[in-house]
Amino acid sequence: MSVLNQLFNRGVLGAKCKTSLTLAISRIKLLQNKRDVQLKLMRKEIAEFLQAGQEAIARIRVEHVIREQNTWEAYEILELFCEFVLARVPILESQKECPTELREAVASIIFSAPRCSDLPDLLQVRNLFAAKYGKEFIAAASELRPDTSVNRTIVEKLSVNAPPPEVKLKLLKEIALEYNVNWDSTKTETEFKKKAEDLLNGPKQIAAQPQPHSRPQIQENSSSMKHKQGEHYLQSPTSLSVTSSQTPGATKSSTVNQIVEPTTEIKSPQSSDVLQRARNAIAAAERASAAARAAAELVNVSMIGDGTSEFCLLLQVFISMMISNNQNI
């Protein structure tokens, strides 16, 4: 029974493998024709962008063209490998291990199957190879281990890495030459030579922060000075204090202390009322000073002549003069 099962399974494996490979070959040819038309349209659009001076859009579109061309070349190699394996399916069935001459083709199909979504038939072939050679053989080809024989051109063409700037510039020049576009590539070459900044680590150069203007501080200082000047003008320029004391029956004469502060010169008052009040205060102070001196002289005379009535009369005159001065102030 075991021999019959092996023979039966061998026939089923060969038939399924041939069917899947045949469908994959026909699908690859169909996709190749469709991709040829798309590439021509895309190259024409890029030429129009270059003619209109929209080089930024052309640089973006050219990456898609390169990716489509790489896929087209990879499919072309896969088509050859599928035809090669299809012709040698009986050899795969007769041997337990993968033959050396078929190892590159089988490994390349296993590697390309999950990366070519347009070719679901290759996944069926990959599953058949996994059932025959084991999961370890499939994992080695998928992970590109050193002991595998995957075609290097297929690995490069199916890579998801961005194409280098030299390849993009070369293709742009080819498209411009193909469609007779008078295009200057200096700007694009300069753009390709720029190094991309690391946005995660932040900018490498720290811009100097502008210093704040000192004009508001000057305005504040000027306003505070004006406020202080206004307060200075409101203060009285002269203060007068007169102290007189007299004790009845005392042998010594009373002393009159007169303290006059120096007047501050007002250069530029802001208000006429303040100036008028200051002048009135100065005049009143002068009159009070004259009255005090006259009273002191009269007191001395009265004390010498021992005239009590004259002293009282002079004292009343002095008091009336002081009252009138206070009323004037």
**For 289-316, how does the pLDDT look when each residue is reduced to its tens digit (9 = 90+)?**
777 777 667 666 555 445 555 656 666 6
Residue with the bigger pLDDT between 205 and 256: it is 205
Structural domain includes residue 216: no
pLDDT band at 101 (very low <50, low <70, confident <90, very high): very high
Structural domain includes residue 205: no
- Could you give the C-alpha distances from 6 to 69, 87, 131, in angstroms and in order? 43, 22, 13
Can you tell me the distance from the alpha carbon of 324 to that of 309, in angstroms, rounded to the nearest whole number? 23
Do residues 63 and 167 lie in contact, with contact meaning Cβ atoms separated by under 8 Å?
no
Query: What is the per-residue pLDDT for 50?
Result: 93
SS3 188: helix
Residue with the bigger pLDDT between 170 and 230: it is 170
Can you tell me the distance from the alpha carbon of 295 to that of 311, in angstroms, rounded to the nearest whole number? 10
Q: How many residues does the chain have?
A: 329
Do residues 147 and 103 lie in contact, with contact meaning Cβ atoms separated by under 8 Å?
no
Listed residues 142, 168, 193: the one ending a domain: 193
Can you tell me the distance from the alpha carbon of 166 to that of 112, in angstroms, rounded to the nearest whole number? 27
How many Cα atoms sit within 13 Å of 293 on the Cβ side? 5
pLDDT band at 260 (very low <50, low <70, confident <90, very high): very low
Whether 14 and 91 map to the same domain: the answer is: yes
Whether 41 and 173 map to the same domain: the answer is: yes
Q: Among residues 92, 157, 125, which one has the least CA distance to residue 25?
A: 125
Whether 19 and 134 map to the same domain: the answer is: yes
Structural domain includes residue 219: no
pLDDT at 227 over 60: no
Structural domain includes residue 277: yes
Whether 97 and 242 map to the same domain: the answer is: no
Whether 26 and 107 map to the same domain: the answer is: yes
Average pLDDT of the segment spanning 94-123: 94
Query: What is the per-residue pLDDT for 4?
Result: 43
Query: What is the per-residue pLDDT for 324?
Result: 63
pLDDT at 155 over 90: yes
Listed residues 193, 225, 260: the one ending a domain: 193
Structural domain includes residue 273: yes
Average pLDDT of the segment spanning 145-161: 91
Query: What is the per-residue pLDDT for 190?
Result: 87
Can you tell me the distance from the alpha carbon of 86 to that of 78, in angstroms, rounded to the nearest whole number? 12
Listed residues 193, 208, 243: the one ending a domain: 193
* CATH classification of the domain holding 90: 1.20.1260.60
What radius of gyration do the chain's Cα atoms show? 57
* Token pair belonging to 311: 């002293």
Do residues 16 and 129 lie in contact, with contact meaning Cβ atoms separated by under 8 Å?
no
In the numeric block, the tokens 């720029």 are attached to 194
Whether 58 and 188 map to the same domain: the answer is: yes
Chain-centroid distance of CA 258 in Å reads: 75
Q: Where are the beta strands (DSSP E) in 12-111?
A: none
Can you tell me the distance from the alpha carbon of 149 to that of 140, in angstroms, rounded to the nearest whole number? 10
Sign of CA dihedral 161, 166, 168, 170: negative
What pLDDT digit, counting tens, does each position of 28-47 carry? 999 999 999 999 999 999 99
Query: What is the per-residue pLDDT for 228?
Result: 47
Average pLDDT of the segment spanning 131-154: 92
Structural domain includes residue 249: yes
Give the structural domain span for 312. 235-328
Instruction: List all residues 6 or more positions away from 10 whose beta carbon is below 8 Å from its beta carbon.
Output: 93
Query: What is the per-residue pLDDT for 325?
Result: 57
Average pLDDT of the segment spanning 222-226: 50
Structural domain includes residue 218: no
Whether 10 and 116 map to the same domain: the answer is: yes
**What does the mean pLDDT of the chain come to?**
76
Structural domain includes residue 90: yes
pLDDT band at 141 (very low <50, low <70, confident <90, very high): very high
Whether 24 and 160 map to the same domain: the answer is: yes
The most confident of the ranges 185-194, 240-249, 290-299, 316-325 is 185-194
- Alpha helices by DSSP H, listed for 271-307, are 272-305
Helix (H) and strand (E) counts for the chain?
A: 12, 2
* Token pair belonging to 187: 């700007």
pLDDT band at 326 (very low <50, low <70, confident <90, very high): low
User: How many structural domains does the chain have?
Assistant: 2
Whether 54 and 151 map to the same domain: the answer is: yes
pLDDT at 329 over 60: no
Whether 179 and 273 map to the same domain: the answer is: no
First to last CA, the chain: 142
Whether 62 and 142 map to the same domain: the answer is: yes
Whether 149 and 252 map to the same domain: the answer is: no
Instruction: List all residues 6 or more positions away from 86 whose beta carbon is below 8 Å from its beta carbon.
Output: 17, 18, 21, 22, 25
Least confident range of 41-55, 142-156, 285-299: 285-299
Average pLDDT of the segment spanning 251-274: 47
